[in-house]
Amino acid sequence: MPPRILVVEDEPDLLDTVDFNLRREGYDTVLARNGADALAVLSRPPLPNLVMLDINLPDLSGLDLCRRLHQRADTKHILVLMATARGTTEDRETGLELGADDYVTKPFSVRELMLRVRALLRRAQPRPQQPRIEFGRLLVDKSAHRVFVDNKEVALTALEFRLLTTLMKNPGAAHSREQLLATVWEIQTDVETRTVDTHVKRLRNKLGSANQYIETVRGVGYRFRATPND
């Protein structure tokens, strides 16, 4: 079955345009013009694989809807692509902190939207099994997609998990923000590098006592420490 995408957008023309182009790419779409309609869709199967979510909805804020998605056990795995107005940096950062996987800025091109949707869905696909990695307080089980700090499991989103494992591939090596955008987000486009900073901040918060392993390289980006030094 093709991936199912829920588009939540209150602008009729934009909703129709997005729907047409997603269907042309082979996706199964379901549409909602407000937060209440979106919640109704999310209350019954089949659940979508991805939600394209406008922040400015007439009833329920897109940020509130994103928060509810990640609070429910049956929907927290659903990918979220936020649509934000140009210049609303604070809204974008809040959305990412609430668990959104990516964002697109209005007005956006159809090509950019399709690239982001394709990249998100590709990242969510199961990958070949890989061994467990132990690093000081941190244990990463790639095959099970699980992370433990001090033997306690830490719940990471798919994007956070990919960001962590990407940094861990080359301990001690610096990764620029642009490199991380291309590798983790898997798209080459004009995206603000603050997106990386927001996700790293959230990842560090979740890692707790293991957050020291992710180091900031001033003027460049980030690196994963070469040795634990615990």
- Reading the block at residue 161, the tokens are 């998990």
SS3 150: coil
**H helices within 81-193, ranges in order?**
89-97, 110-124, 158-169, 177-184
pLDDT in tens, 133-154: 899 999 999 888 899 999 999 9
CA-based nearest residue to 196, from 175, 210, 171: 175
The end-to-end CA distance of the chain, in Å, is: 47
Integer Cα distance of 55 and 77 in angstroms: 19
Integer Cα distance of 52 and 187 in angstroms: 17
> Where does 132-224 sit in CATH, by number?
1.10.10.10
The CATH class of the 4-124 domain is: alpha beta
Q: Decide: 146 and 118 in contact? Cβ < 8 Å.
A: no
Integer Cα distance of 136 and 15 in angstroms: 48
Tokens 């460049």 sit at which residue?
220
**Where in the chain are the domains?**
4-124, 132-224
**What mean pLDDT is predicted for residues 92-100?**
79
pLDDT in tens, 97-118: 788 888 888 888 999 999 999 9
In terms of average pLDDT, the best of 17-31, 117-131, 158-172 is: 17-31
